[in-house]
Amino acid sequence: MKHLMTRRSVVATASAALAAMIAPKAALALNENEAKALVDKLVGEINKVIASGKSETAMYGDFERIFERYSDTSYIAAYTLGNDGRKASSSQKRSYSKAFQVYVARKYGRRFREFIGGRLEVTGVRKVKKWYEVDATAYLKGQSPFKVTFLVSDRSGRNKFFNLYVEGINMLLTERTEIGAMLDKRRGDFDKLVADLKKAS
pLDDT of residue 201: 67
Q: What is the mean pLDDT of residues 4-29?
A: 42
**Cα–Cα separations (whole angstroms), residue 51 to 12, 71, 75:** 59, 22, 30
Residue 19 has pLDDT above 70, yes or no: no
- Is the pLDDT at 189 greater than 50? The verdict is yes
Under a CB-based contact definition with an 8 Å cutoff, are residues 188 and 178 in contact?
A: no
Q: Which fold has domain 31-200?
A: Nuclear Transport Factor 2; Chain: A, (3.10.450)
Beta-carbon contacts of 173 under 8 Å, excluding residues fewer than 6 positions away, are none
- Ordered by start, the domain boundaries in the chain are 1-30, 31-200
Q: Look at 25-34, 52-61, 172-181 and tell me which has the smallest mean pLDDT.
A: 25-34
Confidence at residue 14, expressed as pLDDT on a 0 to 100 scale? 41
Mean pLDDT in residue range 89-94: 92
Beta bridge partners of 134: 125, 150
This prediction's pTM: 0.79
Mean pLDDT of 154-161: 93
Residue 137: name the closest of 129, 127, 145 by CA: 145
- Local structure of residue 72 (DSSP, 8 states): -
